[in-house]
Amino acid sequence: MYNQKVMDYFLKPINMGDMPDADGVGEVGNVVCGDVMHLFIRVGKNPAGKEVIADVKFKTLGCVAAIATSSIATELAKGKTLEQAMAMTNQDVVRELGGLPPVKVHCSVLAVDALKMAIYDYLKKQGRPIPEKLEKEAQRIRKDTENAEAHTHPHVE
Amino acid sequence: MEVYLDHAATTPIHPEVLVAMQPYFTEQFGNASSLHKWGREARKAVDLAREQIADKLNIMCREVIFTSGGTEANNWAIKGVAFTREASGLKGHIITQKTEHDCVLNACKWLESRGFAVTYLDVDEFGMVNPEDLKSAIRPETFLVTIMHANNEIGTVQPLKEIGQVIKTANPAILFHTDACQSFTKEPLNLKDLNLDLITINSHKIYGPKGVGALVVKQGTKLVPLLHGGGHEFGHRSGTINVHGIMGFGKAVSLASPEKNRHMQTLRDHLIKRVLAEIPGALLNGHPTQRLVNNTNFSFPGVEGEALLLRLDAHGIAASTGSACSSNTLEASHTMMAIGRKPELAHASIRMSLGWENTLEQMDYVVEVLKDEVKQLRSMSATWRRE
Ligand SMILES: Cc1ncc(COP(=O)(O)O)c(C=O)c1O
Ligand code: FES
């Protein structure tokens, strides 16, 4: 069902973990199956003085595809400028993994959404203006996450 | 270490079963309906297998009708009885319950679309049907009750004796069918004691070949055939008889034994005890005691089932899951929902079903791997927080 690259990222995920002093945090849920992802970014500057994703970590409760896409999405995002990172799509992630089973493509949306929300959170915390496109996407993602939470109760004691 | 723990899905063919089957592929390939020596040899083999199965269930040979498996037998029992109603111009009412195998539920749903009424009884948190609920569901037009013996996912064994009594006390004309694919040879099953009219059994869950099963039809039970043709199987089920498959089925039944059941039960209890004691938050799905000897089913909060399944697979361990993420529809298992598991616990379920060849050493290996993988998946989980 899954190709070897997906399995490799699933069995040995890269960039998995917490980042207590993150500059931005994205928390998203998946409407389709009720899974949850948290993504943390640290923002730095590249030699040209542009803001880039200097470090990124994630935590996921989800299937094999959710874990593998989270991991590869963080890897792809690392070093990108904020503009480049915001422009990433789930197709980029799926392509990089060499494809996913059709029923699992929705899992890859979780990762890029979480990245967008982390950038959104960073800009908000900095008191900076939110690009119109990001604002629109954030609205959609928040609505999806609310729906996902209505589906499930992700906090387990 | 390789550990196969998916015997509820299917078992290997036992070497002795294979040996019993082999001649019927080549030298003794005859058609059991032919009159010559080849045909008579094939017929003898089928008769022997029928006897082995009838003995196990303490019934007459003529009451065992071979089919292509459990799915066909369940479909036939349900539709075959319903069609006897249609033939007399009536529809009527069927009672079943929510954790049945898909082949029972979908056969019932199809009959609903043709104008039959169906009641799907609720089960309790352990997956048990309450005979009192059944009693109140019976209507004057009820003609069939179909309740599985043991559940394929959570292993819960239904109180068939009480259910049978309720049915026949209310109306002896109501037929009682059970799907015993998971329990056959593992749990006592007696047509008369349980007031059963129809029993579905199959071969590939008990070390026999796939594609063979039977419907036990109590003598005198009216049933319309699904397959019309040359009138094989006492006119019940046409089609050239699958001699090698049936030979394997009979042999497999003769190999089952109380010792093997006790062995599986010992492993089951060991696995359940260690998992519940050593993995924080682990929950057992299904009934603590009224449970199939070879079934374990756990939920590990904070861990998604498909992810755990494939982590176990990487360690050579085969299990299965009721998680939505592993199904094509992305819906959690209907059994997990029926026992009231919240979606995140339904997603977190893992079934490990045992077999004769499993060992205690394997169980200990599985517990160690589980402990480690549950810990790892929780450490990457966005929702798991240790108190
Ligand atoms: C409870 C139950 N009923 C029916 C079936 C279907 O049997 P078969 O695979 O022989 O068609 C199975 C197994 O797949 C089962 O577990
Ligand atoms: S996260 Fe549920 S299907 Fe992928």
pLDDT averaged per 10 residues, chain B (length 387): 97 98 97 96 97 96 98 98 88 97 97 97 98 98 98 98 98 98 97 96 98 98 96 96 98 98 98 98 97 97 94 97 80 91 88 98 98 95 64
Interface test with B, best of A61, A105, A147, A153 (most B CBs within 10 A): A61
Is A14 within 8 Å of chain B by CB?
no
Mean pLDDT for A18-24 is 95
Question: Residue A157: pLDDT above 60?
Answer: no
Residue B151 lies in a domain: yes
| Domain containing residue B328: CATH number | 3.90.1150.10
Q: pLDDT value at position B199?
A: 98
Cross-chain CB nearest to A61 (options B281, B330, B381) = B381
Across the A/B interface, how many CB contacts are shorter than 8 Å? 86
Is-above-0.90 flag for pTM? yes
Cβ of A107 below 6 Å from ligand 2: yes
The amino acid present at B283, given as its one-letter code, is: L
pLDDT tens digits along B158-208: 999 999 999 999 999 999 999 999 999 999 999 999 999 999 999 999 999
**Residue that finishes a domain, picked among B229, B255, B281:** B255
The answer on B7 and B62 residing in a single domain is no
Confidence of residue A149 (pLDDT cuts 50, 70, 90): low
The position carrying tokens 């379920």 is: B349
Distance from CA of B340 to the nearest CA of A (A): 13
Confidence of residue A32 (pLDDT cuts 50, 70, 90): low
Cβ of B71 below 6 Å from ligand 1: yes
**Number of domain units in chain B:** 2
pLDDT tens digits along B38-90: 999 999 999 999 999 999 999 999 999 999 999 999 999 999 999 999 877 88
A63 included as an active-site residue: no
Cross-chain CB nearest to B330 (options A33, A59, A153) = A33
Closest CA to A36 of B303, B15, B364: B303
- Averaged pLDDT of chain B: 95
Q: How far apart are CA A137 and CA A126, in angstroms?
A: 19
Domain of B371, in residue numbers: 3-11+257-379
The position carrying tokens 């009682």 is: B176
Q: What value of ipTM does the predicted structure carry?
A: 0.88
| Domain range list for chain A | 4-152
Top-tier CATH class for A4-152: alpha beta
Q: pLDDT value at position A150?
A: 58
Question: Does residue A83 sit in helix, strand or coil?
Answer: helix
Calculate what percentage of chain B has a pLDDT beyond 90: 92
Distance (Å) from CA B76 to ligand 1 centroid: 13
Q: pLDDT value at position B120?
A: 98
Q: How far apart are CA B229 and CA B245, in angstroms?
A: 20
Question: Residue A16: pLDDT above 60?
Answer: yes
Question: Residue A154: pLDDT above 50?
Answer: no
Nearest residue on chain A to B280, alpha-carbon basis: A157
The answer on B187 and B48 residing in a single domain is yes
Residue B178 lies in a domain: yes
| Domain containing residue B171: CATH number | 3.40.640.10
HEC string for B335-366: HHHHCCCCHHHHCCEEEEECCCCCCHHHHHHH
